[in-house]
Amino acid sequence: MNILITVQEVREKVQEWKRAGLRVGLVPTMGYLHEGHASLIKEACSQNDRVIVSDFVNPIQFGPGEDLDAYPRDIEHDRKTAQDAGADCIFHPDVDEMYGSDFSSFVDMTGITENLCGKRRPGHFRGVCTVVSKLFNIVTPDMAYFGEKDAQQLAVIRQMVQDLNFAVQIIGCPIIREPDGLAKSSRNAYLNMEERQAATVLHAALSGAEDAMRAGERQISVLTGMIRNTIESRPLARVDYIEVVDSKSMQPVSEMNADVLIAIAVYVGKIRLIDNFTWKIQAGRI
């Protein structure tokens, strides 16, 4: 399978496909592909004639002191994983190709980006919106695929597409987990054996809250307290945030009267992991 390095190569390839009347799907990633990414690629392949996976560790979405340099990379592994999932090519630019020395334009967003990861990682979503805008302009996909694991990112991208009139349909894909419930993530590769075991606490804490909601619990302070207690019962785990927000606006809710997202970020050792679940009122579950 082809690995395209330059914007020009991608443009030529996509033009060729579009001239032939083919639908193009895009799966943006930072590489080190796992089954979560593969599920997005498979979904893209089921809805498009051609699928491009972008594989780029985007420096401008990392803050100072974050894991940009350590972020795992393995393009040969990615080539195989993307190919096995059915992708047609990978776009794997270097940093200079995406951000020339005179790069000066950024896409910023208010509102949705101000809580959860946006609050904890200043500048993160500015980096995400900027790189995804560039990818949309380079690839001009008909459809683009994002994981619900990064629920705030998905909401941000939907808002950006609406606000800036990108002609692309955004598809959200469910969270893929390890057998013990840990959400698959490239960052799981950082965990040592003890941390990997402790990392199961994210899903365990959220599942506990979900069970309590099914049993009728509606008080947000009780639910967040339960989640905190479960996480803090693990010596290696430390809460970064536990938030209950409206699933579209990402603004905190005081009552369970809309679809809510319960999102958490937890340090396991030095590794920051995120997880979430959405409680849908329309499904008649409340």
Query: From the CB of 123, what's the least distance to ligand AMP, in Å?
Result: 16
Query: From the CB of 78, what's the least distance to ligand AMP, in Å?
Result: 10
What torsion do the CA atoms of 173, 174, 180, 186 make, to the nearest 10 degrees? 30
Name residue 97's amino acid.
Answer: E
What is the footprint of ligand AMP within residues 149-168 (CB under 6 A)? 149-150
Query: From the CB of 142, what's the least distance to ligand AMP, in Å?
Result: 17
Q: Does residue 201 belong to the site contacting ligand AMP (CB under 6 A)?
A: no
Strands of the sheet containing 237-246, edge to edge, are: 237-246, 260-268, 271-279
Q: Does residue 40 belong to the site contacting ligand AMP (CB under 6 A)?
A: yes
Nearest-angstrom CA–CA distance, 259 and 155:
13
Token pair in block for residue 258: 């809309």
In the list 29, 48, 130, 230, the residue contacting ligand AMP (rule: CB under 6 A) is: 29
Nearest-angstrom CA–CA distance, 243 and 259:
14
Which H or E run includes 55? strand 50-55
Cβ proximity to ligand AMP, 29 vs 247, nearer residue: 29
Length of the chain counted residue by residue: 286
Query: From the CB of 32, what's the least distance to ligand AMP, in Å?
Result: 7
Cβ proximity to ligand AMP, 112 vs 220, nearer residue: 112
Stretch that binds ligand AMP, among 73-81, 144-152, 236-244, 247-255 (CB under 6 A): 144-152
Q: Does residue 37 belong to the site contacting ligand AMP (CB under 6 A)?
A: yes
Cβ proximity to ligand AMP, 44 vs 231, nearer residue: 44
Query: From the CB of 284, what's the least distance to ligand AMP, in Å?
Result: 26
Judge contact between 236 and 268, C-beta under 8 A: yes
Query: From the CB of 181, what's the least distance to ligand AMP, in Å?
Result: 11
**Residue 243 phi, psi dihedral angles, 5° rounding:** -130, 140
Q: Does residue 184 belong to the site contacting ligand AMP (CB under 6 A)?
A: yes
Active site residue 34: no
Active-site pick, 34, 37, 124, 203: 37
Q: Does residue 202 belong to the site contacting ligand AMP (CB under 6 A)?
A: no
Stretch that binds ligand AMP, among 66-74, 82-90, 184-192, 263-271 (CB under 6 A): 184-192
Residues contacting residue 24 through CB under 8 Å, at least 6 positions apart? 14, 17, 18, 48, 49, 50, 51, 52, 139, 140, 141, 142, 143
Judge contact between 178 and 206, C-beta under 8 A: no
Q: Does residue 125 belong to the site contacting ligand AMP (CB under 6 A)?
A: no
Nearest-angstrom CA–CA distance, 46 and 117:
31
Q: Residue numbers of the site for ligand AMP (CB under 6 A)?
A: 29-30, 36-37, 39-40, 146-147, 149-150, 173, 175-176, 183-186
Catalytic annotation, residues: 37
